[in-house]
Structure 1
Amino acid sequence: MAKVNVCLKRTFTFFNLLFAIVGGLIIGLALLSQTLSRRNGVQELEGRTIGLITLYIMGSITMMIAILGAYGAHRENRGALIAFLVFMVIGSLMMLKTGVSTAISRPQVENVLEEKFRSLLPLDQSAQSTQNIINSLQETFQCCGLFSYKDWGKEIPSSCDCNSEQEMEGKCQTVQYQVIHMIYYTLYHPTCFPIIMEYVAMVYNILLAVVFSLATLALLGMMLSSMIIHQMRQQGVRPTMVLTIPAIFSQQPPKYQELYNSPA
């Protein structure tokens, strides 16, 4: 079996350990996002389930590839290392494509979300599940309406109500609302859409950081695995044997000649 340089093998093992940690962090991030979403009551937001499933799959695949690379280096298994190299090539191309497309689409997200949310207005006439989500957002982030308290039409929910303590902190506004009689409400002053966009921007930043970090690790893995495979291939080549002819079989001229007198 070909022996791989010990320093290179240890470096590759450390890389796979780091790769596995990244995979575990991705899974942990998905779990944290799922827990916070349930706590804040936004588990029904569109696209959330797809995003969580993507994170779980990405983290699991990352850990499995790291285990494959560590096994190939430890056993000096060329087949496992070649499979690891193929996964690194495919993964780096996918991560780069995903990162570039995500960075390009990021400026368009705000307009798409604004158009989507405005289609829900007025909120008091939207589906009950939508009203529940907006009420949970308003209670969590202490905001009222997506773009204005008027988004609720004729019925402003209690989740917009602002108490005296919050009023002293400058988070409230007093508005007059006239349906039949003049009614005054003390409501949260901030609206929810800018707060939602802050969280969306944070998610995009995290996604871009994860994608380009994985792309960088994939390129590094390609380099290390290629070096190990090349070293195994070079050490597996048998040396060429050169046959030499012993000196005893070589023809050499005699060292002397016998002198004698020829007959007359």
Structure 2
Amino acid sequence: MAQINICLKRIFTVFNIFFMVVGAVVILLALWCQFFMDNRGGHNLEGRTTQLFFFYMVGCIILMIAVLGAYGAHKESKVALIMFLVFMVIGSLLMLIIGIPAAIIHPQLKGIMEKTFSGFVPLDKSSEDVRNMAEGIQEKFHCCGLFSYKDWENIPDSCVCSQEEKEGKCQTVENNTFMLQRKSVYTKTCFPTIMDYIQFHYNIILVISFTLAVLALLGMILSSIMIHQLYYPNRPTIVVSMMPPKYEELHNTLAY
């Protein structure tokens, strides 16, 4: 005989199907990122292996927890539902640990990034990875330098405007190394573009963290109710009545 309310079981099943979809999306996103980087020659693949592994791991964990919850509800297994509840508690705590500090830092994010990127100037003397990153951004977004073209002691070709560029997007400057050499470089700097990119992904992290925390809390509530029903299958529902007891009604009638 079923001990869990059928309506609650269906809600919990839909909840776990949604979790399965989330896990599958995370895994597909990691596959897409790996495929995208492979097509670009795998330049930054080694540095992002840990990030890709993290995405794969998170997606697989979400899938396994969803399957565990669905199995526990279908078979009415106390062990499976208790394990699911423990995972939901841990997951909600982890999401809050990530989300709350991120929300606190959010107003200060621009200042932190400015201080961090200022440490890369002059770009010529930075590491090879930083120089390659800067030149790649300059070529793609038609900008020059992080905060100014003066961030380069020797302005690279990625800063140079093409002859087809419209007026107003370029400026003529003197190369810092060869004072007699003049170059037409992009007027726009790269830091605002980088900051927009960071802000966008930072907001995604915030939304995902708090959304998963709320979903984990919902999973905790649903699994806790089902576990309670399994341990106390015949416990009557307590109903608070505002009607007076019968003996009080009889007493009041006799008094009049």
Q: CA contact under 8 A between 1:19 and 1:217: conserved in structure 2?
A: no
Unaligned 5+ runs, structure 2:
236-256
- Mapped to 2, the partners of 1:194 and 1:212 lie a distance apart of 27
Partner of 1:259: none
In the alignment, the residues of structure 1 paired with residue 231 and residue 145 of structure 2 have an alpha-carbon distance, to the nearest angstrom, of 66
Structure 1 length as normaliser, TM-score?
0.78
In structure 2, the partner of 1:73 is 73
Q: CA deviation at 1:197?
A: 0.8
TM-score normalized by the length of structure 2 = 0.80
Distance in 2 separating the partners of 1:131 and 1:215: 39
Q: 2 CA distance for matches of 1:171 and 1:45?
A: 35
Aligned partner of residue 182 in structure 1, secondary structure: coil
| CA spacing shift, 1:44–1:158, aligned 2, 3 Å | farther
Identical counterparts, % of pairs = 50
* 2:57 matches 1:57: yes
Q: Structure 1 34/111 Cα, relative in aligned 2: closer, same or farther at 3 Å?
A: farther
User: 1:109 offset after TM fit, Å?
Assistant: 3.1
| 2: CA distance, partners of 1:45 / 1:151 | 28
CA distance in 2, matches of 1:197, 1:40: 25
Corresponding residue of 1:260: none
Could you say which structure has the larger radius of gyration? 1
CA distance in 2, matches of 1:159, 1:72: 58
Structure 1 residue runs of 5 or longer lacking an equivalent are 238-264
- C-alpha displacement of 1:111: 2.7
Distance change >3 Å, CA 181–CA 114, structure 1 → 2: closer
The residue aligned with 1:163 is 162
What SS is found at the alignment partner of 1:4? coil
Say whether 1:137 aligns with 2:146.
Answer: no
Contact 1:42 1:133 in 2 (8 A): no
Deviates more, 1:9-18 or 1:33-42: 33-42
Q: How many residue pairs were aligned?
A: 234
Query: Partner of 1:249 in structure 2?
Result: none
| Alpha-carbon distance between aligned partners in 2 of 1:172 and 1:35, rounded to the nearest angstrom | 35
Shift of 1:50: 5.0
Helix, strand or coil at the partner of 1:93: helix
- 1:203-249: per-residue Cα shift (whole Å, max 9, x none)? 11110111111111111111111121122222278xxxxxxxxxxxx
Given that 2:150 and 2:176 are in contact with CA atoms closer than 8 Å, whether structure 1 keeps it comes out as no
Deviation at 1:194, TM superposition (A): 1.2
Is the deviation greater in 20-29 or in 185-194? Answer: 20-29
Q: Report if aligned partners of 2:16, 2:70 keep a CA contact under 8 Å in 1.
A: yes
